[in-house]
Amino acid sequence: MNIKILGTGCPNCQRLEQNTQQALEELKMEAVVEKVTRIEDIMGYGIMSTPALVVDGMVLVAGTVLGVEDIKEKLADL
């Protein structure tokens, strides 16, 4: 599983990354988590606001910070 956190490094982006890491730990899932901070790269996903959570190339959410439980639900549905 490849997970990308799209955002320029703002506090919300950092919180989404932390929540994602915690959700993965609690689910005992392994994934490559990377931050995408270049505006040009972020625009390539067709989102209008950050932070965004992208899993295996699919944008799951944009413009909001999901909590740990919400992320766990989304990952479990994949």
Per-residue pLDDT at 77: 83
Q: Are 19 and 11 in contact (CB under 8 A)?
A: no
Per-residue pLDDT at 24: 97
Fold of 2-76: Glutaredoxin (3.40.30)
21 catalytically annotated? no
Give residue limits of the domains in the chain: 2-76
Which of 13, 54, 55, 62 is labelled catalytic? 13
Residue 78 has pLDDT above 90, yes or no: no
Mind listing the pLDDT tens digit for each residue in 11-28? 999 999 999 999 999 999
Which of 1, 9, 10, 25 is labelled catalytic? 10
Q: What pTM did the predictor assign? A: 0.92
30 catalytically annotated? no
Mind listing the pLDDT tens digit for each residue in 27-67? 999 999 999 999 999 999 999 899 999 999 999 999 999 99
- Residue/partner pairs of 9-14 with CB below 8 Å, 24 or more apart: 9/35, 9/37, 10/50, 10/51, 12/50, 12/51, 12/65, 13/50, 13/51
